[in-house]
Amino acid sequence: MAVAGIVVDRERDGFPTFAHIDLRKHLEFIPLLKSHGVEIDAPIKWTEKMKRALEEPEFKKGDINNFWDE
């Protein structure tokens, strides 16, 4: 029986080796894959400018008594 969106590759003797799953058609497999450590979301591409921005402090230490004066 063929299921739309799932293709099974077999060896010469008929043993299944790989399964190709269209995740747009079978969303129920995404939590299973994530629980096994597969990254589904695209990784963030960090540029040098972003890395420098994260290294710089975002705030300066202030005095609570002069909070409104700054």
Mind listing the pLDDT tens digit for each residue in 7-62?
999 999 999 999 999 999 999 999 999 999 988 888 778 888 888 877 777 666 77
Q: Is residue 66 part of a domain?
A: no
Q: Is residue 58 part of a domain?
A: no
The pLDDT, as a whole number, for residue 26 is: 92
Q: Is residue 55 part of a domain?
A: no
The pLDDT, as a whole number, for residue 69 is: 60
pTM: predicted TM-score of the whole model, two decimal places: 0.52
Q: Is residue 30 part of a domain?
A: yes
Query: How many separate domains does the chain show?
Result: 1
70 vs 47, higher pLDDT: 47
3-state secondary structure 12-51: CCCCEEEEEECCCCCCCHHHHHHHCCCCCCCCCCCCHHHH
Q: Is residue 60 part of a domain?
A: no
Our measurement of the distance from residue 49's CA atom to the centroid of its chain's CA atoms, rounded to an integer in Å, reads: 22
The single residue listed with the structure tokens 């890395």 is 51
Q: Is residue 35 part of a domain?
A: yes
**Distance in angstroms (rounded) separating the CA atoms of residues 66 and 70:** 7
List the structure tokens of 31: 């939590």
